Amino acid sequence: MARECYFLGKKTTFGNQITTRGKAKYLGGVGKKTTGITRRKFKSNVQKVRAVIDGKVCRVRVSVKAIRMGLIVKPPRRVRPDAATAD
């Protein structure tokens, strides 16, 4: 099961972490020098939520961006019979 958004298709992407040393030119130095390049992962913020899809309630992995955009419809909350009589 991959870390991928059900709606937007966002998933882990790869990039580089660049390690440098030295002082920047605008600070009076001779410039930054690259001392190492390492592969790294940018992981998407994916949450497992209950959503209504095609009239059924199911758990899906959804990115937080999709939740904020309002792409998911959450199921209605259940009302417990014992909690209703306690009031």
Rounded CA-CA distance 4/56 in Å is 21
Predicted model pTM: 0.68
* All structural domains of the chain with their residue ranges: 13-75
Residue 10 has pLDDT above 70, yes or no: yes
pLDDT category of residue 84 using cuts at 50, 70 and 90:
low
Model confidence over 16-57: pLDDT tens digits? Answer: 999 999 999 999 999 999 999 999 999 999 999 999 999 999
Q: What is the 3-state secondary structure (H, E, C) of the chain?
A: CCCECCCCCCECEEEEEEEEECCCHHHCCCCCEEEEEEEEEECCCEEEEEEEECCEEEEEEEEHHHHHHCCCCCCCCCCCHHHHHHC
Rounded CA-CA distance 1/4 in Å is 8
pLDDT category of residue 80 using cuts at 50, 70 and 90:
confident
